[in-house]
Chain A
């Protein structure tokens, strides 16, 4: 339980950092890349605002849990429940397999329509495979 409390405290600091730094990132991006198009600025704005909102939600969740024992225990059970953890792992495993197959098929199909899209999708697939191998190597050493 104490370890979980420390994890929540650490996460809280990260969420506060995100909420503080991302407005500066938005302003800096706007100032540095003045000539960039609306799309790029919109993308930065969307990612930053979205991340800040998510961080804010988790910040409130962690803060209330750290100051209320009842909510702390409820959150502890919710996040450490082994069935929930197992569901999360299985979901990620299945979802990543489906994503890889869909991206591969999309890459093949888009090859007949647009070469750039096809190459981008193939590159995405290769990067995903490399990351998967790297993560697998890490866990082979760790476990």
Chain B
């Protein structure tokens, strides 16, 4: 699963720490999410989507085998 967190965060000029504080996670979690090393839980994905004012599907790009 890929995501557009880094792209959107940079375009909105938000720092990793600011995003981490908004989502109540550590900065390391944001770094891991951006690098694709860690997949967010449904709750975190929901919070991140709310932060960027979009849907989960728009923020997270699901691979072929992750779809129905």
Bound form: Cα–Cα A81–B43 in Å? 12
Taking the complex as formed, is B1 at the interface, i.e. its CB lies under 8 A from any CB of chain A?
Answer: no
Taking the complex as formed, is B28 at the interface, i.e. its CB lies under 8 A from any CB of chain A?
Answer: yes
With most chain B CB atoms within 10 A of its CB, the pick from A76, A82, A83 is: A83
* B26 and A84 contact, CB distance less than 8 A: yes
Taking the complex as formed, is B32 at the interface, i.e. its CB lies under 8 A from any CB of chain A?
Answer: yes
Taking the complex as formed, is A78 at the interface, i.e. its CB lies under 8 A from any CB of chain B?
Answer: yes
Q: Dominant SS at the A interface?
A: helix
Range of interface residues on B (Cβ < 8 Å): 10 to 19
Give B15-40 as 1s and 0s: 1 = Cβ < 8 Å from A's Cβ atoms: 00000110011101100100000101
Bound form: Cα–Cα A81–B29 in Å? 8
Within 8 Å CB of B61, what residues of A?
none
Bound form: Cα–Cα A83–B41 in Å? 9
Within 8 Å CB of B40, what residues of A?
82
Within 8 Å CB of A80, what residues of B?
24
B46 to chain A, nearest CB (A): 12
Bound form: Cα–Cα A78–B32 in Å? 15
Within 8 Å CB of A82, what residues of B?
25, 29, 40-41, 43-44
B53 to chain A, nearest CB (A): 22
A-side interface residues toward B, CB under 8 Å?
A: 76-78, 80-84, 86
